[in-house]
Structure 1
Amino acid sequence: MPGFIASVALLAAIVIGGSAMAETAEDIETRNVAAVEASFNAWADGTGSPYDLLAEDATWTITGNSLASKTYNGREAFMSEVIRPFVGRMSVGLKPVIREMYADGDTVIVFFDAAGTARDGQPYENTYAWFLELDNGRIVRASAFFDSIAFNDLWERVAPVQTK
């Protein structure tokens, strides 16, 4: 009987210890917010961007009625059809300023302003809300909301130069 009791005690310790080591929803939210915040800080510093967190098979949906509104399947489709042409229209890249950041499970919501200067010397300013779903620190799904009038004005007014 002492062997049985010791086995049950060992099993209980493993189960309790295992659950204590399991990542909580709060841990996941904290980790995801930290990753997204760090990527925005890198963007503001000119050393990186949130796009560095995109999984290769991520989907990015631009909602609304902008000239770029649709769902992009895969990191490369989004980067080649939206981000590189956008950057190619700018002489001074966007600098984000986060207003608020929220987390719920695997989703991080970032509400932010961003401003830069287009190649024609005109300012570009917009306010964004991004809903980012992360899996193991990578963005796997995103939905973006912004002022499509400001975006469309830039998109139609300034022709992009080739960027890498």
Structure 2
Amino acid sequence: MLIFKRRLGNVKNSFVGFCVVLAWVLLVPTTWAEENGVEAQNKAMVVAGFDAWKNGTGSPYEQLADNATWTIEGHSLASRTYNGREDFMANVIRPFNARMSGRLIPTIRNIYTDGDTVIVHFDAAGMAKDNKPYRNTYAWFLTYKGNKIVNATAFYDSIAFNDFWQRVQPAS
């Protein structure tokens, strides 16, 4: 009889546990599922942008909204907030590319998602116009709205960047 009571107790505990899990699953807000869908979509967009960049067929900058803000943190010569896609492209990306003899090639280390924000940690390397390599490690925090980046915050080694930015003059 004692064995029967123990087994009945185990069945009751298992049933209660099952009911708790079932209730949690049924009561999870829809927003949780929606956020995970958004996170997966945004992560896929980052991967696609980086794949295009790596393959020379595009870049993540194509996903920037026209009114996006891009902040470069720290104390590099380019550190500030850029207001709008064109401000960022004209003052950072085009002058950067004009200092390179070839493409900067990214290699993603990790990607993290949290709601509408994707954090991409990556290395990038290429050859500068003075035939010296440029290498840096970056962390970008990209906030998406729809399929566009509306806000970005970038971190990188400002010593490596400043050396490159001062050493190599952009080609006209």
Q: Which runs of 5+ in 1 are unaligned?
A: 1-18
- Which structure: larger Rg? 2
Structure 1 position 146 matched with structure 2 position 156: yes
In structure 2, what residue type is equivalent to 1:98?
I
Shift of 1:137: 1.0
Sequence identity percentage: 60
Higher helix share: 2
Which whole-Å CA distance do the structure 1 matches of 2:102 and 2:159 have between them? 20
Q: Which runs of 5+ in 2 are unaligned?
A: 1-28
Structure 1 position 69 matched with structure 2 position 76: no
**Aligned Cα root-mean-square deviation (Å):** 1.4
Structure 1 position 94 matched with structure 2 position 107: no
Which whole-Å CA distance do the structure 1 matches of 2:44 and 2:92 have between them? 26
Higher strand share: 1
With normalisation by structure 2, the TM-score equals 0.81
User: How many residue pairs end up in the alignment?
Assistant: 143
Cα deviation, 1:31-73, whole Å, max 9, x if unaligned, reads 0000010000000000000100000000000000000000000
Shift of 1:23: 6.6
* 1:79 aligns with one of 89, 101, 104: 89
Cα distance, 1:85–1:104 mapped onto 2, change above 3 Å:
same
Cα deviation, 1:96-120, whole Å, max 9, x if unaligned, reads 0000001000000000000000000
